[in-house]
Structure 1
């Protein structure tokens, strides 16, 4: 009887085809200007650690389905050719997760070797990549800058904070964030008030209590002070040093982010703990972008039982795909520009304050499309 039962179980078990998936994580080093604080050193394996955790997550499910996952990686030092490294990676696998500036991402996506590949942008928030500079083979698992600033704008509307001066840095990333912020405020019926540019090069660790009150004295009364400091250079010295005691939001204070250690709801603490155990540090937004890319790929492989890039891309962009991303809602890709829809946590350093999209901001398709470029706004045509 026992032999008969075992034979029956074997006949009833599905016959899974063996699928082997290799993902390559490509880092292109970029020159970062010095900042006035060394409190936030850049982890050596930023992004790559998130990819490693996702590979293990995929493998856990894959063991039962005859699927194996492997991760390889390479780094392009400053001054070397990213295209050469990308070609080498594409010779190994057609699945790349990339940490690189926007212009490098589009150059890699345009390589002849990349035309049949699936490339994931895991770290670059530039809005143009989801707009006129989109590429059909490039999907985005990191939120765009516009998604983050739209989330913050929704919160400002909810609070009825509409008198909003801004202090902006002069680095291109600061200016890009400022442009996105201005667009978001306009989108939701607000506007930026007085603008002041931060041009100090003194050590604010010593001078903030003297310089910042004088710098902000002429702003008058207002509801909240916005800060565009994507490098983390000066914003931390604005808090509690302004002439008027008001909230600070934007790049510092109350921030809209991809991911933060204070996100613990919706089972997120499980991901946080797995990551900290594996990497020995807290999960950063770049880690989350890489994790989401490889988990999305793993979900597509599991659901389609295929490893063909064309079939997987079609599934990723279809209505059938969903990714459980520990953010409170299923996450899906926008079929018109390859952006992964996802909630945006609004946080301060010690707690989650809100999770955008906020209640009351409606959309005919999904409230997640109130964050970032909506289909009628996007100039992306590569996905048509």
Structure 2
């Protein structure tokens, strides 16, 4: 009995032993930029925006990873205003080639060119060009582009038959870029933006909105919906209920499109939001979600491939078997032509979920999620070929 029993015990111990340890290190590399001037300080930008989403995802990865022999580590590196982002990138490359990048577009493309064999995730920049002619094969995007936000709004307008559209645009570069995305999206969905004005006020709208906004919007005439392109929400918050004609407002205020919003409660979203709030004491925002999605993407890829090799991970992430359960009702995958994460877009007001794009009836031969953002024929990205 002893001679028979001992090999069985040993075999059982071997079967129950953990897999060979894998050490996976990720760097979150953030460039500090001057905050945009705003008329209101009611919604300050959190100093830990993005990185707390990465921290939550790392906890999620560690929960699964401990059974797989995975040891996850996250380092947050912040480059001060005017600091050398590429030098910080070079230092980070000495530790890992898996990184989350939070920086302006120029730094992102330069960083990607510096590390062609790294696997990088853009978690904070919505610039369409990064998914278009300025794309890089080693740079994936978990934050939705401006085009995705614009398309989500236009689908809602089509469903509601809001065909007469007016627009107010701020003067900041991001405002102009968002207005361009809205124009392009309107054309894509057979709509047209009619009368428009540029917001050039520097007065304190907290005191003057009731007097200034009606006069400012009077010559827009009548319309079904008023779009506001104001990415910093500098003046947009003062537009609803102050327009000359009582009409819905969308874009930067009123009906808005997001990667994530606290009002989303279905599909387990409330549980994710609750865990994030327990960790941070605040609500999850778009960049937090994008950082969470990037780390969870890596966690899923490492678990499925049982590898921490960068090329292996990239191939799996862009392959047909990858899916990310993102708490938004549909599996999320990456576009193979520009590295953008396909994802549903909640359309919300400040208090409720209004709809979630893609809306019913907007079909696509590959995935309805590809009705949001740059589809393959629309993107000039060739790096992924």
Counterpart for residue 277 of structure 2: 276
Paired residues, what number? 382
Counterpart for residue 356 of structure 1: 357
Counterpart for residue 91 of structure 1: 94
TM-score normalised by length of structure 2: 0.97
1:1-384 paired onto structure 2 within 5 Å: 7=10, 9-13=12-16, 16-111=19-114, 114-384=115-385
- With 7-16 and 315-324 compared, the bigger mean Cα shift is at 7-16
| Counterpart Cα distance in 1 of 2:377 and 2:22 | 39
Secondary structure of the 1:134 match is coil
Secondary structure of the 2:121 match is strand
- With 14-23 and 85-94 compared, the bigger mean Cα shift is at 14-23
| Counterpart Cα distance in 1 of 2:36 and 2:373 | 28
- With 97-106 and 11-20 compared, the bigger mean Cα shift is at 11-20
Structure 1, unmatched stretches of 5+, are: none
| Counterpart Cα distance in 2 of 1:331 and 1:93 | 26
Shift in Å at residue 10 of structure 1?
3.2
| Counterpart Cα distance in 1 of 2:320 and 2:213 | 50
Shift in Å at residue 32 of structure 1?
2.7
Shift in Å at residue 221 of structure 1?
1.6
| Counterpart Cα distance in 2 of 1:8 and 1:76 | 52
Shift in Å at residue 6 of structure 1?
5.6
Shift in Å at residue 7 of structure 1?
5.0
- Is contact 2:18-2:67 (8 Å) kept? no
Secondary structure of the 2:81 match is coil
Secondary structure of the 1:164 match is strand
Show CA shifts across 1:195-245 (max 9, x none). 100000000000000000111111222111110010110000001001111
| Counterpart Cα distance in 2 of 1:120 and 1:181 | 25
Secondary structure of the 1:194 match is strand
| Counterpart Cα distance in 2 of 1:302 and 1:41 | 37
Distance 1:88 1:216, change over 3 A: same
| Counterpart Cα distance in 2 of 1:357 and 1:314 | 27
| Counterpart Cα distance in 1 of 2:131 and 2:228 | 24
| Counterpart Cα distance in 2 of 1:232 and 1:165 | 18
- With 217-226 and 56-65 compared, the bigger mean Cα shift is at 217-226
Show CA shifts across 1:269-292 (max 9, x none). 111011000111110111001000
Shift in Å at residue 115 of structure 1?
1.6
| Counterpart Cα distance in 1 of 2:355 and 2:288 | 21
Show CA shifts across 1:277-312 (max 9, x none). 011111011100100000000000000000000000
Secondary structure of the 2:117 match is coil
Secondary structure of the 1:26 match is strand
Secondary structure of the 2:377 match is coil
Show CA shifts across 1:150-204 (max 9, x none). 0110000000001110011010000000000000110000010101000000000
Shift in Å at residue 258 of structure 1?
1.0
- Is contact 2:18-2:69 (8 Å) kept? no
Structure 2, unmatched stretches of 5+, are: none
- With 217-226 and 11-20 compared, the bigger mean Cα shift is at 11-20
| Counterpart Cα distance in 1 of 2:11 and 2:314 | 37
| Counterpart Cα distance in 1 of 2:278 and 2:35 | 29
Q: How large is the Cα RMSD of the aligned pairs?
A: 1.4
Show CA shifts across 1:52-74 (max 9, x none). 00100000000111011010011
| Counterpart Cα distance in 2 of 1:15 and 1:347 | 45
